[in-house]
């Protein structure tokens, strides 16, 4: 058995602006840094064997706030990156439809094999992205004898792993929350991951912070 604490990175300005980040390396904003600190404090008493993160700084810096409380080093796993959206990256959600009307429709329809136009990088389909994300997590839990690990990654990866654990397809609209710096607990039983708790943000509420953090 391996307990997985699956965590989305803290807030960025692009999250607030509803701008697609994808592989663009955007930093945490002030609120994201506060969230990361609160997350680290919330997990300080848990016994963790390892802390892993995507190589993008918003995930790395969130993971560092957890690792430093544990005396651990953040282990970087590039395969935990967010989905690459190609030419969509850098655009606000409402801006995508004008230059890419047909692709915008495919995005909203959640077509699993749709590949959006390339930008600086070639876009991944949802099916390709999900396979990458799931394989990255499975490799971490299968090749090591960990009891409890933290994985800090991105909203898209969390969605893929939620759907994988529930054995649900890509087409169904998302009916679960993915909060910045939330704690989502899964348990790997040797063959599958089972959700134990999802969307815990109690540590982010103002009343849980001391006066220095407020």
The catalytic residue positions are 9, 82
64: phi then psi, degrees, rounded to nearest 5: -60, -35
Tokens representing 176 are: 């679960």
């Amino acid at each position: 058995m391996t307990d997985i604490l699956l965590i989305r990175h803290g807030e960025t300005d692009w999250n607030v602006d509803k701008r697609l980040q994808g592989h663009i390396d955007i930093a945490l904003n002030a609120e994201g840094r506060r969230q990361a600190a609160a997350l680290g404090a919330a997990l300080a008493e848990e016994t963790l064997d390892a802390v892993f993160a995507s190589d993008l700084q918003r995930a790395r810096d969130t993971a560092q706030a957890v690792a430093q409380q544990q005396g651990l080093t953040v282990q970087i796993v590039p395969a935990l990156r967010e989905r690459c959206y190609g030419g969509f990256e850098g655009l606000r959600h409402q801006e995508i439809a004008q230059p890419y009307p047909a692709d915008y429709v495919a995005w909203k329809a959640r077509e699993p094999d749709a590949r959006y136009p390339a930008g600086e990088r070639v876009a991944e389909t949802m099916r390709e992205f999900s396979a990458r994300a799931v394989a990255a997590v499975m490799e971490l839990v299968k090749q090591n004898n960990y009891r409890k690990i933290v994985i800090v990654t991105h909203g898209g990866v969390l969605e893929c792993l939620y759907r994988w654990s529930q054995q649900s397809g890509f087409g169904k609209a998302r009916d679960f929350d993915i909060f910045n710096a939330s704690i989502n607990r899964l348990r790997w039983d040797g063959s599958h991951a089972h959700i134990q708790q999802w969307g815990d943000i109690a540590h982010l509420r103002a009343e849980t912070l001391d006066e220095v953090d407020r």
